[in-house]
Amino acid sequence: MGLSQKEIDIIYHLAEKLTGSSHKGNYKKEAIIGNVKKRIVALKKKSLQEYLQIVSRDPIEHKNFLSALTNHTTSWFRESPHFEVLYKYIKDNKTKFANKPVRIWSVACSTGQEPYSLALFLENIKHELGLTDYKIYASDIDQKSVEASMQAHYPTEELVAIPSQFHQWLELSHNKINSCFSITMQIKKHCKFFVHNLFLKFPYKNEQPFDILVCRNVLIYFEPNVVQQVMKTLCSNILDDGLLILGHSEALTKKNDHLVSLGHACYKYSSSAIHNAEYKISKEIKKTALIIDDSATIRLALTKILVSAGMNVVECADAESASVKIRLHQFDIIILDLNLPGENGSSWLKRSRSIGLKTPVVIVSDSSPKEAENIFGILECGAQDFMTKKQLSEKPDKFSEVVKSITEDKNVILFTKSLLRTFFFDDFKPEVILIGASTGGPGALAQLLERFPLPCPPVIVIQHINSDYAKALSRRLSDVSGLMQIDNLNSPLLPNSIYIAQGDYHLEIVRRGNSLHIRTNEDAKQSGHRPCIDKLFLSAAKAQASSISILLTGMGEDGAAGMLELANSKKSYTMVQDELSSVVFGMPRSAIERKAVSFIGDIKTLRDEVIKRVRESK
């Protein structure tokens, strides 16, 4: 179901009011919108307003709604340097802890993996360091997460993230649906879970401040003034010389006398100067890439490029290891080699997509033009872009640009009708369909043109692609669409045919008498491209061609200026792919910002609209 911008703003406002999290920043805002949509659909409600009425009356649905507004990212033993700091802190204070329990508060514990990781770690070192006991308080604002923590049942796929020395405190179990593991009572008895809002006082009045306070990846969701409030609350619950552990992306950037850095976003606390304290954290959340390649040399080269682009990098050499890492961690992009030992990259990607993998994938692999049709099949099945390893070595900056564009946070902007041009369909008979695409284009083109209904006007496609692969793309789109592939690109345009630039040249339309012709030229590159989408669009406007013009996913601005000329000619119905379905929204966004667009939609919506307009013109 769709939500208006006003409804989305209402959800953001409620998220901020109920959880304190800000809707301004780089965190994945679309996640909570998706969560709320699922609840509306599950209850078969027709609108957000109708759903919120249920939330206000039903305590159970109120709990579900709060859970939908909450970030649930967590994992076992994450941020391993924190455990090194924790071990040293306890060892340095073992005399104290020989006579009193180690007391820890795990804030925003989600479904329990973090506090149980701490408990397993402490149980393992208890005898080595002579600890008398330990007690872990774990809280979360989401009641459903707290209930899951108390049950402590986890899928067996998560076992690989728990080092084997801790398995003695885990219990395997099976049911009719799946297998899982749970935490033994020997560990659970040390953990106390409760629902708590960080903006409220600690609920147990008789409890003393804690030796250790863990609050990871929470502050990044708050505005600076809220960070001040939360940090003061946290510090008021730590003993002198206690340990504060924040997330790696939340390191304090402003020096505070009462917090001494121990490295890795860990701090030793002292109550001095508390009233003059000012807290400022780094909110720059680095994207994380997973590299899957069996060549250590290629992994090193890719890592250097990605780290230079400001990303964190995780590496693995085969598909099996990749599957394990993906189950346990969230990645923003995957860089995939096709020629892997064991299961090859193509098979792994298709299988992973079939079971729900949503992460964008860029293929970087050795592949000859002879294998190009296989590459396009993979792009249609779930990869966002392809680059050969030769191209990587020749144009590392191009690879970096592609990755940055693909991983850029989507703003989920809903463009209002005021930004769209009105197109009058009186006597509209399109002579030609013009399509421009770049990054993510091959897959989008295949979906748009698949088994395209006949009869239809001639279709001309400009796809930014290496010329070695252009002929294979032309054959592929002809096969997918059922349209006749025309290789003579200096000829009259024919209906039910597809024309694609197959080399390093531009395509243009010219009018000769009453008919349109296509021609090539080798003019200089425009905006760094040859073939250039603007070149085609501008020629169609000059020829006064009645057209449907479409800009699909792609970096940069190519096609936007030409689309504006087409729109101004009043003879072209101008369409662009929407942001959520675009791999990169650069070209469509640029056309929208120029007010050159009459219709916006995802691929299915665009396809339906094109077919409708073609049929109406007969």
Helices and strands (DSSP H and E) totals, the chain: 22, 25
Q: Read off the pLDDT band of 19 (50, 70, 90).
A: low
Residue 237 has pLDDT above 80, yes or no: yes
Length of the chain: 618
Q: Taking the CA of residue 33 as centre, how many other CA atoms within 13 Å lie in the half-sphere pointing to its CB? A: 22
* Burial class of residue 69, CB neighbours in 10 A (0-12, 13-18, 19+): buried
Separation between Cα atoms, residue 81 and residue 87, nearest integer Å:
10
Does domain 81-276 fall under CATH 3.90.1150.10? My reply is no
Q: What are the tokens at 512?
A: 């000769």
Residue 185 pLDDT? 95
Secondary structure percentages of the chain, helix, strand, coil, to 5: 40, 20, 35
Give the C-alpha distances (Å, rounded to integers) separating 97 from 153, 368, 456, 478. Answer: 31, 64, 80, 73
Other beta carbons within 10 Å of 1: 10
Give the C-alpha distances (Å, rounded to integers) separating 238 from 242, 251, 256, 259. Answer: 6, 18, 15, 11
Q: Which CATH number fits domain 417-616: 3.40.50.2300, 3.40.309.10, 3.40.50.720, 3.40.50.180?
A: 3.40.50.180
Residue 424 pLDDT? 84
Residue 521 has pLDDT above 60, yes or no: yes
Separation between Cα atoms, residue 555 and residue 533, nearest integer Å:
12
Pairing of strands 170-174, 134-140: unpaired
**Fold: same for 81-276 and 417-616:** yes
Separation between Cα atoms, residue 382 and residue 579, nearest integer Å:
17
Separation between Cα atoms, residue 388 and residue 413, nearest integer Å:
34
Alpha-carbon dihedral sign for residues 353, 356, 361, 366: negative
DSSP 241-292: EEEEEE-GGG-B-S-BTTEEEEETTEEEE--TTGGG----B------EEEEE
Residue 30 pLDDT? 63
pLDDT digits (tens, 9 = 90+) for 545-570: 999 999 999 998 999 999 999 999 99
Amino acid at 499: Y
pLDDT digits (tens, 9 = 90+) for 379-423: 776 788 888 888 888 889 989 988 988 887 655 444 445 578 888
pLDDT digits (tens, 9 = 90+) for 133-148: 999 999 988 888 899 9
Q: Please confirm whether the linkage preceding 455 is cis (ω < 30° from 0).
A: yes
Pairing of strands 361-365, 385-388: parallel
Residue 31 has pLDDT above 70, yes or no: no
Domain definitions of the chain by residue range: 5-68, 81-276, 288-407, 417-616
Q: Read off the pLDDT band of 26 (50, 70, 90).
A: very low
Q: Which CATH number fits domain 288-407: 3.30.420.610, 3.40.50.1820, 3.40.50.2300, 3.50.50.60?
A: 3.40.50.2300
User: Catalytic residues, which ones?
Assistant: 438, 464, 558
**% of the chain residues with pLDDT over 70:** 86
Long-range (24+ apart) CB contacts under 8 A made by 182-186 are 182/151, 182/152, 182/153, 182/154, 183/116, 183/119, 183/152, 186/123
Q: Read off the pLDDT band of 373 (50, 70, 90).
A: low
Residue 474 pLDDT? 87
Other beta carbons within 10 Å of 606: 24
Edge-to-edge strand list for the sheet holding 361-365:
312-316, 288-292, 333-336, 361-365, 385-388
Q: Taking the CA of residue 447 as centre, how many other CA atoms within 13 Å lie in the half-sphere pointing to its CB? A: 21
pTM higher than 0.85, yes or no?
no
* Burial class of residue 427, CB neighbours in 10 A (0-12, 13-18, 19+): exposed
pLDDT digits (tens, 9 = 90+) for 323-348: 888 876 778 899 999 889 999 888 99
List of E strands, 132-178: 134-140, 153-155, 170-174
Q: SS3 sequence, 301-336?
A: HHHHHHHHCCCEEEEECCHHHHHHHHHHCCCCEEEE
pLDDT digits (tens, 9 = 90+) for 96-129: 999 999 999 999 888 899 999 999 999 999 998 9
Question: What average pLDDT does the structure give for the chain?
Answer: 84
